[in-house]
A and B are shown apart, each in its own frame.
Chain A
Amino acid sequence: MNALTTGLARYLDETRLQRIRQTKVGIAGAGGLGSNCAQLLVRSGFIDFVLVDFDVLECSNLNRQFFFQDQIGQPKVQGLADNLRQINPDVSVRMVQARITPESVDTIFADCGVVVEAMDTPECKQMLAAAYSRSGKLLVAASGLAGWGDSDRIAVHRIHDSFYLVGDLSSGVECGLPPMAPCVTIAAAKQADIILSWVLGDLPVGKQGGL
């Protein structure tokens, strides 16, 4: 037991902790959504991850992503794996520093029970959602989390029993709204909470909808 697992045992019984530990989570994108969602999952007891991101850390990421100044220039998957192990040294990460393509999307998370869509562009989000909706895995995607204010707009939408979508569905960065830490982190936190609820058997949550 390390300090985190000792602490967690105060809040969750062994049956629940075991269910959490045994769930492998695939995260597509280690940016504002993916890095923050991963952090919250690790704090909740998750230890098994597949992280996919082609990018390296830039100055413009620090406003909202779970990284630090001395990691600028590092691959995000490496930096995030290091940061997650600072929270729990037992975390195991398969790092994939690559773009997800139409050729790789179907197989990249084959061994995961949960897939987090945490990518930037609508086209990439679409590709991942089309591949993993009805895949038998839990898919948790996000759309509409840019800007600030009226943060209750960032809602949980249940598309079907294994596909959840977090966001206001309309505030995209292409509307000129910058991605800022509070709303991006709220969306990431809601993604993490859906996963935790699913693993602990407390779904369905959220309202139905999607357009």
Chain B
Amino acid sequence: MHVQINGKATEVEPGMTLAEFIAMKGLKPESVVIEHNGTILPRERWRGVALTSADQLQIVSFVGGG
């Protein structure tokens, strides 16, 4: 299944949740902002959202320094 992530079609296991996707990518949840179909999704909700092929995601993962 393909999901639009940051403007690119990305292969994702059907039924995978957002929390599982972030873990699979090796990203630290506390450094990540996810926009799911144009809405910011708080971290507590990632486990309850299964990805579908209609989804548009923007994922930003921050690194430190300023």
Asked if A129 and B33 sit within 8 Å, CB to CB, the answer is yes
Residue numbers of A with Cβ under 8 A of B are: 29, 31-34, 118-123, 125-126, 129-130, 133-134, 141-146, 159-160, 165, 167, 169-175, 177, 179, 184, 208-211
Pairs across A and B, CB under 8 Å, 30 listed: A31-B66, A118-B66, A122-B30, A122-B31, A122-B61, A122-B64, A125-B66, A126-B31, A129-B33, A129-B62, A133-B33, A133-B35, A133-B40, A134-B35, A134-B39, A142-B66, A143-B61, A143-B63, A146-B65, A169-B63, A170-B63, A171-B65, A173-B65, A174-B63, A179-B65, A208-B7, A209-B6, A210-B6, A211-B25, A211-B60
Tell me whether B48 is interfacial, beta carbon within 8 Å. Answer: no
Flag if B64 contacts A120 (CB, 8 Å). Answer: yes
Query: Roughly how many angstroms separate A133 CA and B41 CA in the complex, as a whole number?
Result: 11
In the complex, how many angstroms separate the beta carbon of A76 from the nearest chain B beta carbon?
12
> For window 7-55 of chain B, which residues contact chain A by CB distance below 8 Å?
7, 25, 28, 30-33, 35, 38-40, 42
A134 to B62, CA, bound (A): 18
In the complex, A211 Cα to B4 Cα: how many Å?
12
In the bound complex, what is the Cα–Cα distance between A130 and B6 (angstroms)? 16
CB pair A34–B66 under 8 Å, yes or no, is yes
| CB–CB A174/B64 < 8 A | yes
Residues of A within 8 A of B33 (CB): 126, 129-130, 133
Given contacts A122-B31, A130-B33, A211-B6, contact A159 B60 (CB under 8 A): yes
Q: Please name the residue on chain B nearest to A28 by beta carbon.
A: B66
Residues in A with CB closer than 8 Å to B39 are 134
Contacts of B65 in A (CB 8 A): 32, 120, 144-146, 171-173, 177, 179, 184
Q: Looking at the assembled complex, report how far the CB atom of A147 sits from the nearest CB atom of chain B, in whole angstroms.
A: 9
User: Quick check: B64 and A210 within 8 Å, CB to CB?
Assistant: no
How many angstroms from the CA of A32 to the CA of B65 in the assembled complex? Answer: 9
Q: Please, how many angstroms separate the alpha-carbon atoms of A24 and B52 in the complex?
A: 40
A residues in contact with B28, CB < 8 Å = 122
B30 A126 Cβ-Cβ under 8 A:
yes
CA–CA, A211 and B40, complex, Å: 15
The residue on B at minimum CB distance from A160 is B58
A179 contacts which chain B residues (CB < 8 A)?
65-66
